A = this chain, B = another copy of it.
Amino acid sequence: MEQREVQELLKEKLKEKGLKITRQRLLVLSVLEQNSGSHMTAEEVCELVSADCPEIGLATVYRALQLLWNMQLVDRISFDDGCVRYEIGHLLKGDTKHNHHHLICRKCNKVIPFGDDLLDDLERYIEGATGFHILDHELKFYGLCKDCIKKENSSPLSF
């Protein structure tokens, strides 16, 4: 899906619900698109939107992100650092940058993205078994990264 298209999709959905198409909402979505590899906090998004719209308030960004998430235009993920992050994920499924899974090192807190498309079968199975309709998923693996395993072996146990 191209940038132009995602913007159009947002406009369509807004219209459909009687909500207004505003510069702020379009900019928030646009920033997420231009950074489709990273998981951004509201603050980071606000920072970047400010380039084109210096008057924007952080509260507006929070409101816009929540809206986009409700409309399923963006994904939400939280590592364990106390803030929610947003990502334009499944809409760009063809995109090689799309990674829905994350390996999180419990020692150095590094986050390593990992390819998607591993859960499709599982999703279908769950839908059949429970009647739950799955829209999205979030999968995190906690453990030790290569580097920290190396260090662990050469130094005494600790955390």
Interface residues in chain A, defined as those with a beta carbon under 8 Å from any beta carbon in chain B: 16-17, 70-71, 76, 78, 80, 84, 103, 105-106, 112, 114, 118, 122-123, 126, 130-146, 149, 157-159
Contacts and interface: CB of A to CB of B under 8 A. Distances in A.
B130 A134 contact: no
A149 to B, nearest CB: 6
> How many copies of this chain are found per oligomer?
2
B70 A80 contact: no
Given A70-B106, A135-B144, 11 more contacts: A70-B159, A71-B159, A78-B78, A103-B132, A112-B130, A126-B141, A134-B142, A136-B142, A137-B140, A138-B142, A139-B140
B132 A136 contact: no
Contacts of A144: 132-133, 135
